Structure formats: C-alpha cells, structure tokens
C-alpha cells in the first residue's frame, strides 16, 4: 500500500521566508499533539535560531515585534494550501476556531477534517456572515442576483 504524503504550498499571493511544506507539517504536528495550533505555538516553534521556521519572522524583541510575529503566524496558517497531484486546492487547510474553557476564551487554528461538529458549525456561520457581508456591499449589482438568491436559501 502506498502512503500519500501531503504537499503544502502557499496561496498565490503569499510568500514567507520558509517553504509552505515546513509550515504545514509543523502546524499539523502541533495540531495532532495538542489538538490545536495557535499563532503563539508557531512563534515558539520558530524561536530557536536553528528552527526551520525561524527565518520567517523578524526577531526584534520589542513588544510590538512579538505581536507582529503572531500576525505573521496567523497569515501563514491562513495561506497554506494542499497540492493534490498537479492541482492546488484553493481552500485553506487550517481554519480559525474559538471557544471558552475553564481557562477562559481561546482561539487557534485546526485542520478542517479535525473540527468538531460545533467548530464546523462555527466556521460555516462565519462563512455565511462573510457571504452576507458581500451581498450587502454589492446588492445593487444585478449580475449577482442568482448568487444572492442562493445565499438566501442557505
């Protein structure tokens, strides 16, 4: 039996100082080990000078730089795609989820197949809200009338 290797690539407009494959595999490992991959975990993973993700981040130790690194990690996670044979899937591999636990409010990224029913519902609601936002913004464009009708049916 042949084992398929997941191939990660950047979305068309994204480039970082490291290969998407390294980011995808690292985030997948963290998600598998801890159940959730956060921007802070990506930054911590990249912190050692010899870490594969290290070159993707600026390492000025000012507080603003730390926040910026988290933003870069979030952008990285949103930009990873899967390449299946010669075709790049345009849907993101990792999606943002959030919730409340005994420790308080949390948020992070998970792979789509690993979402709970509640998390999948959360992501679907976010997608529907984004579609409705587009509808409000472009409602006067008659060309998209059928699109708006399809959104109404969701």
- Residue 122 belongs to some domain of the structure: yes
pTM, 2 dp: 0.59
Same domain, 128 and 107: no
Same domain, 103 and 85: yes
Q: How confident is the model at residue 143 (pLDDT cuts 50, 70, 90)?
A: very high
Same domain, 12 and 86: yes
5-53 pLDDT, tens digit each? 889 998 876 778 899 999 999 999 999 999 999 999 999 999 999 999 9
Contacts of 67 (CB under 8 A, 6+ apart): none
Range of the domain at 31: 7-111
The span from the CA of 24 to the CA of 28, in Å, is: 6
Number of domains present in the structure of the chain:
2
Of residues 87, 66, 81, the one with CA closest to residue 111: 81
Same domain, 107 and 123: no
Contacts of 119 (CB under 8 A, 6+ apart): 97, 99, 110
The span from the CA of 39 to the CA of 2, in Å, is: 33
């Amino acid at each position: 039996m042949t084992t398929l290797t997941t191939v990660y690539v950047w979305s068309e407009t994204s480039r970082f100082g490291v290969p998407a494959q390294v980011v995808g595999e690292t985030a997948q490992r963290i998600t598998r080990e801890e159940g959730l991959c956060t921007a802070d975990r990506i930054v911590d993973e990249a912190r050692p000078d010899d870490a594969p993700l290290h070159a993707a981040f600026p390492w000025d130790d000012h507080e603003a730089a730390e926040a910026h690194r988290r933003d870069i990690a979030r952008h990285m996670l949103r930009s990873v795609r899967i390449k299946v044979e010669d075709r790049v899937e345009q849907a993101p591999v990792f999606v943002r989820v959030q919730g409340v636990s005994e420790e308080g409010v949390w948020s992070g990224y998970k792979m789509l197949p690993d979402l709970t029913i509640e998390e999948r519902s959360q992501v679907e609601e976010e997608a529907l809200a984004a579609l409705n936002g587009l509808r409000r913004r472009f409602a006067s464009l008659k060309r998209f009338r059928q699109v708006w009708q399809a959104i109404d049916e969701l």
